[in-house]
Structure 1
Amino acid sequence: MSKSENKRQLISFLEPKSPISEAYRALRTNIDFSSIDEKIQVIMTTSASPGEGKSTTIANLAVVYAQADKRVVLIDADLRKPTAHHTFGVSNRKGLSSVLSRQCELHEAVQSTHVPNLSVITSGPIPPNPSEMVASGRMSALIEELRNQFDIILIDTPPTLAVTDAQIVATKVDGTILVLDSGKVKRDMVMKAKQQLAQVNANILGVVLNNIKKKNSDGYYYYYYSNAEN
């Protein structure tokens, strides 16, 4: 299968005028206005459980930031079940794990995508010690180096309730978005995920609810709210 055939569809790129693309732009705007005193430059997504749409959300968010003439890099820090190389149809031979294990330099792992202004750092080969890798000082140094090269740094992390990786990365970023599937996730799982992030003082910018059925329509939309205290 060719790279182009292997790409997942990015609706914000293919259908920029669609209601869902507009919802991603609204998410971008809400993030930009979520903090008055501090700059939100490094943002991660996580979810309570697998399959809630966090990777789709952050990929489309990356596209709409790039469409706003921002220099964007998306890091696939889900070192257990990575998806970014499929989404953007790029090689996963070198990536985040390669940089953190000193198998390559950072600039070798940054790849351009078919979306102008958008670069990606794929996961790289799946390592035996993902949690230790993202907890390393080298991960922190990588993020700081990227701050000087890009306007927006987006990081996809594993589900919060599955492993500790998301909690670790949350201590290294400016803000966290919790992505939830409204038809799948249970309230107690949401509260537990939020509690685990709160334990590391994560700055939860808000929540994205996926797959909310609109009345009188067969479509689905993404809804964002910034009040994470509820």
Structure 2
Amino acid sequence: MSNFTPKSNKRPIVVHSNPKSPASEAYRNLRTNIQFSAIDEQVRTIMVTSAGPGEGKSTTSCNLAATYAQTEQKVLLIDADLRKPTVHHTFGCSNRFGLTHVLTNQCQYKEVILESYVPNLSILPAGAIPPNPSELLASNRMRAFIDEIKKEFDIIIIDSPPVIAVTDAQIVATRCDGVVLVVDYGNVKIAQAQKAKEKLEHVNARILGVVMNNVKRSVKDEYYYYYGENS
């Protein structure tokens, strides 16, 4: 593992930079709800996705991972959005090497996992954008890799591409214990959210719940993240 210092903090991890904020509390509530949803079966690998782009899935992934790290658990955040990766921007680190290099056997995962500035939180950037993202994510190497890192980390959060546009998220969902679906409240049509849910259910993904992003909290137009259990 390597250490790095963020070059800038244009996308701060709010649960780390402002832990007493309403948004931070909402992320902690999300973590708690996930933990309570897994009474009979432990949830250790969690995929975060959305119906379409720009709904806040990556922000949710990063902050959810940080909240787990704050409980003294060893957490790994994986950027599995091999088409439009953003986790490296959030943490201000290089994306030169990452998941794609691991899946194509160009390096070992221990060589490219980075220790973030959030205690107990490591990240694996996406790496170079490949010509065949779906094939890499569906490979036996991906399955073996998840099995390997589960021996080293307590919680694994995977940021995946949106569900509707490509099959990547459906593929990754089959590798995970549960899925969190992020929906941009007011901007995403109900039909789109329903379609995303159906696509995940088609591969027997376990949908842990839905994060409603940008819900008005008060007349002051504050915004927060809301967790709702799917029925």
- 2:130 matched residue in structure 1: 127
Unaligned runs of 5+ in 2: none
Q: 1:159-180 CA distances to partner (integer Å, 9 max, x unpaired)? A: 0001000000111100000000
CA distance in structure 2 between the partners assigned to 1:63 and 1:159 by the alignment: 21
Moved over 3 A (4+): none
Q: Shift in Å at residue 3 of structure 1?
A: 4.1
Task: State the SS of the aligned residue for 2:41.
Answer: coil
**Number of residue pairs aligned between Structure 1 and Structure 2:** 227
CA distance in structure 1 between the partners assigned to 2:105 and 2:222 by the alignment: 45
The Cα RMSD (Å) is 1.1
CA distance in structure 1 between the partners assigned to 2:86 and 2:219 by the alignment: 33
- 2:76 matched residue in structure 1: 73
TM-score (norm 2): 0.96
- 2:59 matched residue in structure 1: 56
Q: Shift in Å at residue 15 of structure 1?
A: 0.1
Task: State the SS of the aligned residue for 2:149.
Answer: helix
Letter matched to residue 18 of structure 1: S
Q: Shift in Å at residue 6 of structure 1?
A: 5.6
Aligned residue runs from structure 1 range 83-94, under 5 A: 83-94=86-97
Residue in structure 2 matching 1:162, options 149, 160, 165:
165
Moved more, 210-219 or 189-198: 210-219
Task: State the SS of the aligned residue for 2:187.
Answer: coil
CA distance in structure 1 between the partners assigned to 2:51 and 2:87 by the alignment: 19
Unaligned runs of 5+ in 1: none
Q: Shift in Å at residue 93 of structure 1?
A: 1.3
Q: Shift in Å at residue 90 of structure 1?
A: 1.3
CA distance in structure 1 between the partners assigned to 2:37 and 2:27 by the alignment: 15
CA distance in structure 1 between the partners assigned to 2:72 and 2:21 by the alignment: 20
CA distance in structure 1 between the partners assigned to 2:6 and 2:29 by the alignment: 30
Task: State the SS of the aligned residue for 1:12.
Answer: helix
Aligned residue runs from structure 1 range 21-40, under 5 A: 21-40=24-43
Letter matched to residue 197 of structure 1: L
Q: Shift in Å at residue 215 of structure 1?
A: 2.7
Q: Does 1:82 align with 2:85?
A: yes
- 2:207 matched residue in structure 1: 204
Aligned residue runs from structure 1 range 144-163, under 5 A: 144-163=147-166
CA distance in structure 1 between the partners assigned to 2:179 and 2:81 by the alignment: 15
Letter matched to residue 169 of structure 1: V
Q: Shift in Å at residue 102 of structure 1?
A: 0.8
Task: State the SS of the aligned residue for 1:43.
Answer: strand
Moved more, 210-219 or 52-61: 210-219
Q: 1:66-113 CA distances to partner (integer Å, 9 max, x unpaired)? A: 111010000000000001111111111110000001111110121111
CA distance in structure 2 between the partners assigned to 1:185 and 1:52 by the alignment: 8
Letter matched to residue 121 of structure 2: L
Residue in structure 2 matching 1:20, options 14, 18, 23:
23
Measured at CA, do residues 176 and 136 of structure 1 come closer, stay the same or move farther in structure 2, by a change above 3 Å? same
Name the % identity: 59
Q: Shift in Å at residue 47 of structure 1?
A: 0.4
Task: State the SS of the aligned residue for 1:206.
Answer: strand
TM-score (norm 1): 0.96
Measured at CA, do residues 6 and 220 of structure 1 come closer, stay the same or move farther in structure 2, by a change above 3 Å? closer
Q: Does 1:116 align with 2:122?
A: no
Moved more, 3-12 or 52-61: 3-12
Task: State the SS of the aligned residue for 1:99.
Answer: helix
CA distance in structure 2 between the partners assigned to 1:67 and 1:161 by the alignment: 32
